[in-house]
Structure 1
Amino acid sequence: MEHFLLFVVMSILLIILPGPDTGLVTKNTVTHGSKGGLQTMAGISAGLLIHTTAAVCGLSALIVKSVMLFSVFKYVGAIYLVYLGVTTLYAVFKKKESAIQVEKESKYRHKSAFLQGFLTNLLNPKVAVFFLTFLPQFLPAGSDPFLPFFTMGMTYTFLTVIWFLLYVYIIDLMSAWMKKPSTQRAVQGISGLVLLLFGMKLAFEKNP
């Protein structure tokens, strides 16, 4: 495949740019520790694998070409991001729980991290648009896109996993500082605002 190294470099630059996935991983790592961050990363990766499969099978093209389908995915994804942002901001202003309550609820706190990451990525139609507009630029003219699409999609997913493993590790290293109540409130507030803004931005995004 031509220009594969260029594809890798461009993918890395795009992955490290802050977005909804980064905001969600940050929120869940600060709130639930490295386990929450890693589960969120696993959910994001699962969403990317589905987008890869969709691109390979041509379903992404159908979504992009259909105004109705694109709009459905766009607004569902936007509503979910806004929901995550609002609930995160609400948690910042919520009264502190007692140590007993935290202890009782601690064993349940990681259950939704994977699902949050999965839905945030899967319900973002811009990921489908990205796969159809970015990947073809690295295909040889007239070639069968099946294997190159699959290879690039898997590579992009792998690079995403590597980045978020490093990202979660760095946040975990700073856990003493990150777990201070004032720091958690600040990071949660910023993460919630980012998720809210990205949700609103997605909602008002023009159809391709």
Structure 2
Amino acid sequence: MENFLLYLFMCIMLIILPGPDTAIVTKNTLLISKKAGLQTMAGTLCALMIHTSAAVLGLSAIIVKSAVAFSIIKYIGAIYLLYLGVKTLIAMTKRKPQLADAAPHKNDSKSSFTQGFLTNLLNPKVAVFFLTFLPQFLATNSDPLLPFFIMGITYTALTAAWFVGYIYLLHQIRAFMNKPSTQKVMEGVTGAVLILFGVKLALEKAN
């Protein structure tokens, strides 16, 4: 592996850029609970490890090179984001006033994990990232197996560190966000953002 410090820097820059994962984590942390945000993050991390394993095994290369496979995953991912966006907007119109310390539903954590997992797993751009970005840091003529795993785990660990800090920051301002009027605004914004990400993903073309 070459230029590992540069790899770390590039990973950090990519991780902090807002995307579908950040939108889902933000929504679930602010509108449900800190635990839901952490569960969403856990789902995202599990999906990243699957992408890492797929890159090592060469499955990501098939997705990247096959227009059909790329399109199938892309449209499934786009439909899922659109579904989450529309669902959030519908929830906004049906929301009733509630206490700031009201307990979340018992299924929220499971649902949050699934949302984080599927949002990341069904994004073919992540597979493209692993197959186009990671090889740039491989030493010439080296076996990619171990370096890919190391870089994938490193990226996942950095993602975890970023989201933990981000979630705890959001939790600190959640009392304000729990006001019914504020929640309606947040649901409207995050719902619209998820729909935009879904449309953007649907229009994405394979390289």
The TM-score with structure 1 as length reference comes to 0.94
- Structure 2 partner of 1:85: 85
Deviates more, 1:106-115 or 1:50-59: 106-115
- Structure 2 partner of 1:2: 2
- Structure 2 partner of 1:35: 35
- Structure 1 partner of 2:140: 141
**2: distance between equivalents of 1:108 and 1:137?**
42
Structure 1's unaligned 5+ residue stretches are none
- Structure 1 partner of 2:52: 52
- Structure 2 partner of 1:117: 116
* Structure 1 residue 96, shift from structure 2 partner: 1.5
- Structure 2 partner of 1:181: 180
* Structure 1 residue 98, shift from structure 2 partner: 7.3
- Structure 1 partner of 2:153: 154
Cα RMSD of the aligned pairs, angstroms, is 1.5
Letter in 1 for 2:90: Y
The correspondence of residues 101-112 of structure 1 with structure 2, limited to 5 A, is 106-112=105-111
Q: Give every structure 1 segment of 4 or more consecutive aligned residues whose post-TM-superposition deviation is greater than 4 Å.
A: none
Secondary structure at the counterpart of residue 71 of structure 1: helix
Identity of aligned residues (%): 62
Deviates more, 1:172-181 or 1:65-74: 172-181
Deviates more, 1:122-131 or 1:181-190: 181-190
Q: What is the CA deviation profile of residues 138-180 of structure 1, one whole-angstrom value per residue up to 9, with x for unaligned ones? A: 1112211111111000000000000000010000111221212
2:97–2:180 CA contact under 8 A, matched in 1: no
Letter in 1 for 2:65: K
**2: distance between equivalents of 1:190 and 1:86?**
11
Secondary structure at the counterpart of residue 109 of structure 2: coil
- Structure 2 partner of 1:76: 76
Letter in 2 for 1:76: I
* Structure 1 residue 111, shift from structure 2 partner: 2.4
1:82–1:196 CA contact under 8 A, matched in 2: yes
1:32–1:110 CA contact under 8 A, matched in 2: no
1:171–1:178 CA contact under 8 A, matched in 2: no
1:36–1:113 CA contact under 8 A, matched in 2: yes
Distance 1:157 1:98, change over 3 A: closer
1:65 and 2:68 matched: no
1:24 and 2:24 matched: yes
* Structure 1 residue 188, shift from structure 2 partner: 1.8
- Structure 2 partner of 1:167: 166
Count of aligned pairs = 205
Secondary structure at the counterpart of residue 112 of structure 1: helix
The correspondence of residues 180-199 of structure 1 with structure 2, limited to 5 A, is 180-199=179-198
2:40–2:117 CA contact under 8 A, matched in 1: yes
**2: distance between equivalents of 1:187 and 1:88?**
9
Q: What is the CA deviation profile of residues 91-147 of structure 1, one whole-angstrom value per residue up to 9, with x for unaligned ones? A: 111241778xx76x7223322000000000000000000001111111112211111
Structure 2's unaligned 5+ residue stretches are none
**2: distance between equivalents of 1:173 and 1:95?**
22
**1: distance between equivalents of 2:107 and 2:134?**
39
Q: What is the CA deviation profile of residues 59-82 of structure 1, one whole-angstrom value per residue up to 9, with x for unaligned ones? A: 100111111111110000000011
**1: distance between equivalents of 2:170 and 2:51?**
28
- Structure 1 partner of 2:11: 11
